[in-house]
Amino acid sequence: MKVLVPVKRVIDYNVKVRVKADQSGVDMANVKMSMNPFDEIAVEEAVRLKEKGKATEVIVVSIGPQQASETIRTALAMGADRGILVKVDGPVEPLAVAKILKALVDEEQPGFVITGKQAIDDDANQVGQMLAALLGWPQGTFAHALELGDGSARISREIDGGLQTVEVKLPAVMTTDLRLNEPRYASLPNIMKAKKKPIAEKSPADLGVDVTPRFKVLKVSEPPKRGGGIKVATVGELLDKLKADGALP
For the residues of 64-130, what is the DSSP string, one character each?
ESTTHHHHHHHHHHHT--EEEEEE-SS---HHHHHHHHHHHHHHH--SEEEEES--TTT----HHHH
Q: Record the pTM.
A: 0.86
Band the pLDDT of 29: cuts 50, 70, 90.
confident
Q: What is the pLDDT of residue 117?
A: 94
d(CA 25, CA 210): 23
Please tell us whether the domain made up of 2-244 is placed in CATH 3.40.50.620. Answer: yes
pLDDT exceeds 90 at position 74: yes
Q: What is the pLDDT of residue 48?
A: 96
Q: Cβ-count burial of 5 within 10 angstroms (0-12 exposed, 13-18 middle, 19+ buried)? A: buried
pLDDT exceeds 80 at position 227: no
> Residue 85's beta-bridge partner residues?
62, 201
pLDDT per residue as tens digits for the range 96-135: 999 999 999 999 999 999 999 999 988 999 999 999 999 9
Band the pLDDT of 35: cuts 50, 70, 90.
very high
Q: Cβ-count burial of 129 within 10 angstroms (0-12 exposed, 13-18 middle, 19+ buried)? A: middle
| Cβ contact 41:145 at 8 Å | no
